[in-house]
Amino acid sequence: MNTSKFLAAFGVAILLVAGASAQAFAGTSMGQDTAMSGTMHGRFGGPVYDGAPALGVTAALVEVGGGAANYSTASALVGMLGKPTVDAEVAKLSKQYGADAVTLWLKTFDFAVDDSLKIATDAGIKLPPPLPLTGKAFAEALVKAGTDSQGNFQIEFLLDKAVSHNIHVQVMNDIDAQPGLGKRADLQYHQISNQAFYDVAQALGLTSVKLAPVH
């Protein structure tokens, strides 16, 4: 596994319920947001965030990752966490999910960031100056932004906050329709992202953060 591609580029099914398997989800028709106990949840779990996106944080992430034209979450994560931590996480995820699944996850993450920026640009949205976030403090801010009121890190919650819920949903739809990706890749994108950021939280000492059911 090429560690220089770790988490390359930052973002079907209905809400995953206890006991449902990834295999079953891969065959479901695409779901929408789901009301649960009076709260809207995304198709892969986690509460929907429908407020204004934190574009200053998003701009900081794009900048630390090399800029919009050459963005690499690999560079961003190494800068935040250090290469040894990143190398260890790549090895751990590859063993847990298999090298092919991790490779597809990385490919999906590449597509998700490119697509998010394209959608935002087409909508006339411009990123503001980046907030001065660097190093482990930046990684900690991302983990906390994606942690829901139950203490679970949810990549859906983070992506809603990063680019808005509507853009996040459009990106998921585009992943589903993209040749070479599709619904299984979309599911794995959320599963592995939840696991990866949970692992990052533990490495940062944020031990109260819980692992989301979709992982």
Supply the pLDDT for residue 12: 26
Distance of CA 174 to the CA centre of its chain: 15
Going residue by residue through the chain, which has 215 residues, state the pLDDT in tens, using 9 for 90 and above: 444 443 333 332 222 222 222 332 333 333 455 544 456 677 787 889 988 888 888 888 888 878 888 877 777 778 788 889 888 988 999 999 998 998 888 788 878 877 888 898 898 888 888 888 888 888 999 999 999 999 999 999 999 998 899 999 999 999 999 999 999 999 999 999 999 999 999 989 999 999 999 99
Residues in the chain, how many? 215
- Count: domains in the chain: 1
- Return the DSSP state at 147: B
User: Is 0.85 surpassed by the pTM of this model?
Assistant: no
Supply the pLDDT for residue 33: 57
- The DSSP H or E segment spanning 39 is strand 39-41
Closest to 57 (Cα-Cα) out of 118, 10, 1:
10
Supply the pLDDT for residue 81: 84
Supply the pLDDT for residue 94: 92
CA 192 vs CA 53, 118, 133, 181: distances in Å: 23, 24, 25, 15
- Note down the domain range covering 59: 3-211
How many helices, marked H, and strands, marked E, lie in the chain? 9, 4
CA 110/CA 71 separation, integer angstroms: 9
Going by C-beta distance under 8 Å and a sequence separation of 6 or more, which residues neighbour residue 94? 1, 102
CA 8/CA 27 separation, integer angstroms: 27
CA 166/CA 79 separation, integer angstroms: 29
